[in-house]
Amino acid sequence: MDEIDEIIEAIGSYSTVLFLGPLFGVDNNNKKICDQIGEYFRNNGPLVDTDFQNLFICKKEFDNKQKQYSPLLMANKMKAAYNMIKPGDVYEQIAKLNFSAMVCFTQDTFLVKAFEKNNIPHCFDYYSVKGHDPESLAPNELPVIYNVYGKYDNANSLILDYESFYDFLFSILGNNNFFSTNLSNRLSDADVLLFLGFDLKKWYVPVLVTKIYNSIPPSKKQRLMQIAAFNDTDQENEAYLQWLGKYPLNLSLIPQSDVLIDKLSKTPACLRAIRESSSSNNEEKNKWIEELGNIASVDELLELYNDIIDYANELKLTELRNFFTKEKQLIISAQKDVLSEEISYEQFRIEWKRSLARSITYLSNL
């Protein structure tokens, strides 16, 4: 099995985390978004340090009049720059692929908007140099989008100067909670990490990989695959391949990010099961809610769960399948606890009744 087959299998099983590097994003003219933002600042000020690719760090004095540096001015410029961008179709392609999480080295929300446009439930978190409201724990079936560089319209989250950049860097190096809880959960379950849009020779990439590697449970590290596209890497000579040996995980290399995404988007096994609102699905949902309301025993409940899981498998409704598979496993586990006398039958009855109530609530919210 080659790297592409590994990726397809892992995406289909909801066990791939996608990392979109600072060089990945393109607009509707297929131009690099980071280049477009850099050009905006060159034309409109303030002067920025672009050595860090998709980070735009303001210099203290930005014009001949020596105006005072203002974080609010910089944040407003950042917002205006991103508002002028019309993203390419690749974001909708990614939204429809069955990644469990997408980690974006950007400040924009183009991927979030692609999910919203296609009515795909998701969880959006982002790193903030000054902190933000505590996140809510997302169900495992919800894909996670995580912005490493903050959110363009939240000034408190942005890396705007060298001070905030070093705070960000030290957080990567030393903070075990740098990634959100939701993202950490997806990383723990991942079989494949896919890196697109990175210059693999940049110093921060091995720092990132080491951080990720240390967040993976030891039992998963041996079989975890890391795959990267190298079309955004400056390939001066063959020596760069040896340089990649610095990484804590072996990197498998693939040629082109855009070619890969296009291929995956045409592979049915990789497509996300987008919730449908068709009349037939609504009829099934209403029928299940009615049947759940008439359940009299745990055996009847498990039988209905099996029917729903079969239906979900047939139509590739991943979210529906995962929810009822989890509920079924919880009940079976509780049954074993009764047999081993770890819980009483009355406690078991309470557990399966709670599962029934959760199922009715879940279906009612679909």
Half-sphere exposure of 237 (CA within 13 A, CB side): 1
Q: Which pLDDT does position 272 carry in this prediction?
A: 87
Q: What percent of the chain has pLDDT over 90?
A: 27
pLDDT (tens digit per residue) in 115-169:
988 888 888 888 887 665 555 677 778 899 999 999 988 888 888 888 888 888 8
Query: What does the alpha-carbon distance between residue 207 and residue 15 come to, in Å, rounded to a whole number?
Result: 23
Domain boundary among 220, 249, 270: 270
Q: Which residues lie across from 20 on neighbouring strands?
A: 104, 196
Domain co-membership, 288 together with 185: no
Count of Cβ atoms closer than 10 Å to residue 172 Cβ:
16
Q: Which pLDDT does position 101 carry in this prediction?
A: 95
pLDDT (tens digit per residue) in 226-247:
777 777 776 655 566 566 666 6
Is the Cβ–Cβ distance between 193 and 19 less than 8 Å?
yes
Q: Which pLDDT does position 94 carry in this prediction?
A: 95
Q: Is 119 inside a domain boundary? A: yes
Q: Which pLDDT does position 19 carry in this prediction?
A: 93
Q: Which amino acid, 18?
A: L
Helices (H), the chain: 3-12, 33-44, 71-83, 90-95, 110-117, 162-174, 181-188, 204-215, 218-221, 239-243, 257-265, 279-293, 298-315, 318-339, 345-365
> Does the pLDDT at position 255 exceed 90?
no
pLDDT interval class at 62 (50, 70, 90): very low
Average pLDDT over residues 323-330: 91
Domain co-membership, 232 together with 332: no
Query: Is the pLDDT higher at 142 or at 224?
Result: 142
Query: Could you tell me the CATH number of the domain that includes residue 224?
Result: 3.40.50
Query: Is the pLDDT higher at 158 or at 216?
Result: 158
> Does the pLDDT at position 219 exceed 70?
yes
Average pLDDT over residues 98-110: 94
- 57-58 and 101-104 beta bridge pairing: unpaired
Q: Is 161 inside a domain boundary? A: yes
Q: Is 354 inside a domain boundary? A: yes
Q: Is 56 inside a domain boundary? A: no
Query: Is the pLDDT higher at 251 or at 288?
Result: 288
pLDDT (tens digit per residue) in 5-60:
888 998 999 999 999 988 898 889 989 998 899 889 888 877 787 777 788 888 76
pLDDT (tens digit per residue) in 275-321:
544 445 678 888 999 899 889 899 999 999 999 998 887 776 777 88
Look over the chain and give the mean of its residue pLDDT values, rounded to a whole number.
82
Domain co-membership, 194 together with 326: no
Query: What does the alpha-carbon distance between residue 188 and residue 178 come to, in Å, rounded to a whole number?
Result: 15
Q: Which pLDDT does position 188 carry in this prediction?
A: 86
Count of Cβ atoms closer than 10 Å to residue 259 Cβ:
12
Q: Which pLDDT does position 145 carry in this prediction?
A: 94
Average pLDDT over residues 209-237: 71
Domain co-membership, 251 together with 104: yes
* Domain count across the chain: 2
Domain co-membership, 107 together with 234: yes
Q: By C-alpha distance, which of 236, 173, 178 is closest to 206?
A: 173
Half-sphere exposure of 76 (CA within 13 A, CB side): 8
Residue 240, judged by CB atoms within 10 A of its CB (0-12, 13-18, 19+), counts as middle
Q: Which pLDDT does position 252 carry in this prediction?
A: 73
**Can you spell out the DSSP letters for 91-147?**
HHHHHTB--SEEEESSS--HHHHHHHHTT---EEEE--TT--PPPPPPPTTS-EEEE
Domain co-membership, 97 together with 210: yes
Q: Which pLDDT does position 104 carry in this prediction?
A: 94
φ, ψ at 89 (rounded to 5°): -70, -15
> Does the pLDDT at position 112 exceed 70?
yes
Residues belonging to the chain: 366
Q: Which pLDDT does position 212 carry in this prediction?
A: 79
Average pLDDT over residues 92-114: 94
Q: Which pLDDT does position 278 carry in this prediction?
A: 47
Query: What does the alpha-carbon distance between residue 145 and residue 22 come to, in Å, rounded to a whole number?
Result: 15
pTM: 0.71
Query: Is the pLDDT higher at 298 or at 177?
Result: 298
Domain co-membership, 106 together with 7: yes
Q: Which pLDDT does position 57 carry in this prediction?
A: 84
Question: Please, what's the b/e burial string for 88-119 (b: 16 or more CB within 10 A of its CB; e: otherwise)?
Answer: bebbbbbbbbbbbbbbbbbbbbbbbebbeeee
Range of the domain at 256: 3-31+85-270
